[in-house]
């Protein structure tokens, strides 16, 4: 049973709190069951995934009905939206936009819940953008979601006594699978703030808070808001690397270091720090229960877990996706003996702790015969008191192969590019220093706060 807590006969008042109101568990179940009755038998449905209770009810209804559901970002452009609807073959669109599809918000509540679908059935189709081509529909099964949430419940000691607070989008793994389906499986209360602002987080009383690095950076920049989170037992950061400076600021202001974790749409969450134990800046922890990881080189040969060797990260286990949706059929996941090539490069220490260097395509720089992780150079730049943000990439160079190039956002103080190069050279090996520094007003980011390095190369 995927949504175990939602179907628990022991009701919970205010199981869901959003800007639209407060919903008891039985009310959310009746709402979702009413939607399930409307879409029963559909091959696949789409949801206009605005941040709030209607999206949670709509996706819950689809899961109850056993109908695969495709969340569509509310800010998707016309071409992206048309591609998702056409590519997925969605037979219905759940939306509160008048005249657009099947209405989500309604007074009707149903009392009959459909039988539980088989665990191997597809649950979600999440569209994710790669480095080339149009977004691809990642098919994730009910079994994978259940395994992933159960592993996180174990790692984070997440129980029905917890109140989770976040304001993340409801069309990604972080905000939707962890942030919405997590409480519906594990139990407890969910407070979705609509937007993930420092003020909204500070005004919501929770035991767990989810955020992406941009959210945590803004909270750390407002000490009063950060200190309001001190009673919580877990602050979780993911979807992009958390700068060490933000990690340390949060630890100082809240009295606890944040928990970092790693995953992707195709694998869900696979590696995380634990609720009890170490939390290390720049590292994402240990494999979750049911997950194995390894590092390989370009030829596929195994690399040592010595904490310094950088390799391509592969994972396998219970949370892998089924494949990509194409033309109404599912192309099987590209696995080799169960291993999925994440496209990320990482190091693994002798104690099993993982450090994600970045994407192999943009964050592993081959310069002058050396392999340099962009993240290490970025961390060194961020130690400079005038540097607020930094992104490092390799640019083509006729002599070196790739030239280490840093894009830096300053905090308002004037610093010469040559001084920043010298600053890094004092702290890292000479071949790791940037050969060029470009001062910019901001770094290009996507909706989840990830720096879009491919746009820096343009």
Q: Are 325 and 376 within one domain?
A: no
On the question of pLDDT at 329 being above 80, the answer is yes
- Where residue 43 falls among pLDDT bands split at 50, 70, 90? very high
Q: Are 329 and 430 within one domain?
A: no
Q: Tell me, what's the pLDDT at 77?
A: 78
Q: Are 300 and 375 within one domain?
A: no
Q: Who's near 25: CB < 8 A, 6+ residues apart?
A: 5, 6, 8, 11, 12, 13, 15
**329, 357, 385 — which closes off a domain?**
357
Q: Are 42 and 152 within one domain?
A: yes
Question: Tens digits of per-residue pLDDT, 250-302?
Answer: 999 999 999 999 999 999 999 999 999 999 999 999 999 999 999 999 899 99
Number of domains in the chain: 2
The CATH number that applies at residue 97 is 3.40.50.12780
* Radius of gyration of the CA atoms of the chain, in A: 22
Residue of higher predicted confidence among 369 and 15: 15
Q: Are 298 and 389 within one domain?
A: no
The CATH number that applies at residue 418 is 3.30.300.30
Give domain status of residue 6, yes or no: no
Q: Are 110 and 239 within one domain?
A: yes
Question: Tens digits of per-residue pLDDT, 101-130?
Answer: 999 999 999 999 999 999 999 999 999 865
Question: Tens digits of per-residue pLDDT, 342-379?
Answer: 999 999 999 999 999 887 777 878 887 777 888 888 88
Q: Give dist(CA 445, CA 458) in Å, integer.
A: 15
Give domain status of residue 257, yes or no: yes
Q: Are 24 and 166 within one domain?
A: yes
Q: Are 343 and 438 within one domain?
A: no
Is residue 170 within 8 Å of residue 137, measured between CB atoms?
A: no
Q: Tell me, what's the pLDDT at 353?
A: 98
Written as six digits, the tokens of 415 are 């610093």
Give domain status of residue 1, yes or no: no
**326, 357, 388 — which closes off a domain?**
357
Q: Give dist(CA 149, CA 77) in Å, integer.
A: 31
Q: Are 300 and 229 within one domain?
A: yes
Q: Are 373 and 331 within one domain?
A: no
On the question of pLDDT at 131 being above 60, the answer is no
Q: Are 47 and 120 within one domain?
A: yes
Is residue 192 within 8 Å of residue 56, measured between CB atoms?
A: yes
pTM of the predicted model, to two decimals?
Answer: 0.85
Q: Who's near 78: CB < 8 A, 6+ residues apart?
A: none
Give domain status of residue 407, yes or no: yes
CA dihedral (307, 309, 311, 315) positive or negative: negative
Q: Are 341 and 449 within one domain?
A: no
Give domain status of residue 294, yes or no: yes
**323, 357, 391 — which closes off a domain?**
357
Question: Tens digits of per-residue pLDDT, 415-453?
Answer: 999 999 999 988 887 888 999 999 999 999 876 677 888
On the question of pLDDT at 203 being above 70, the answer is yes
Question: Tens digits of per-residue pLDDT, 136-155?
Answer: 999 999 999 999 999 999 99
Domain that holds residue 296: 16-357
Q: Chain-wide mean pLDDT for the chain?
A: 93
């Amino acid at each position: 049973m995927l949504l175990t807590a939602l179907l628990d006969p022991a009701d919970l008042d205010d199981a869901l709190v959003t800007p639209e109101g407060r919903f008891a568990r039985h009310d959310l179940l009746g709402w979702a069951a009413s939607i399930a009755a409307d879409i029963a038998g559909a091959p696949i449905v789409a949801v206009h995934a605005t941040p709030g209770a209607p999206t949670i009810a709509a996706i819950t209804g689809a899961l109850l009905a056993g109908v695969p559901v495709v969340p569509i970002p509310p800010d998707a452009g016309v071409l992206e939206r048309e591609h998702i609807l056409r590519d997925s073959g969605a037979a219905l669109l759940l939306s509160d936009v008048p005249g657009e599809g099947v209405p989500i918000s309604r007074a009707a509540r149903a009392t009959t819940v459909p039988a539980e679908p088989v665990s191997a059935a597809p649950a979600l189709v999440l569209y994710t953008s790669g480095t080339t081509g149009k977004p691809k529909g990642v098919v994730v099964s009910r079994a994978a979601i259940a395994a992933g949430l159960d592993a996180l419940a174990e790692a984070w000691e997440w129980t029905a006594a917890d109140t989770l607070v976040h304001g993340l989008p409801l069309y990604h793994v972080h905000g939707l699978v962890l942030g919405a389906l997590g409480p519906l499986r594990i139990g407890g209360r969910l407070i979705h703030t609509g937007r993930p602002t420092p003020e909204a987080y500070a005004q919501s009383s929770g035991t767990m808070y989810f955020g992406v690095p941009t959210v945590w950076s803004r909270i750390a920049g407002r000490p009063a808001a950060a200190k309001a989170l001190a009673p919580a037992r877990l602050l979780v950061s993911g979807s992009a690397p958390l700068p060490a400076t933000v990690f340390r600021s949060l630890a100082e202001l809240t009295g606890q270091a944040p928990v970092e974790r790693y995953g992707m749409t195709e694998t869900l969450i696979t590696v995380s720090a634990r609720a009890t134990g170490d939390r290390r800046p720049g590292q994402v922890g240990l494999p979750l229960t049911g997950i194995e990881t390894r590092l390989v080189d370009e030829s596929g040969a195994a690399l040592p877990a010595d904490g310094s060797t950088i390799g391509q990260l592969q994972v396998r286990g219970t949370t892998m996706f089924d494949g990509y949706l194409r033309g109404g059929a599912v192309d099987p996941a590209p696995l080799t003996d169960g291993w999925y090539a994440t496209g990320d490069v990482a190091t693994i220490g002798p104690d099993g702790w993982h450090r994600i260097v970045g994407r192999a395509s943009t964050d592993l720089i081959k310069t002058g015969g050396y392999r340099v992780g962009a993240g290490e150079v970025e961390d060194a730049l961020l130690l400079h008191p005038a540097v607020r943000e930094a992104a490092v990439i390799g640019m083509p160079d006729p002599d070196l192969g790739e030239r280490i190039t840093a894009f830096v956002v300053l905090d308002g103080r004037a610093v010469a590019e040559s001084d920043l190069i010298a600053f890094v050279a004092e702290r890292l090996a000479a071949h790791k220093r940037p050969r060029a520094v470009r001062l910019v007003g901001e770094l290009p980011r996507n909706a989840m706060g990830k720096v879009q390095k491919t746009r820096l190369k343009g």
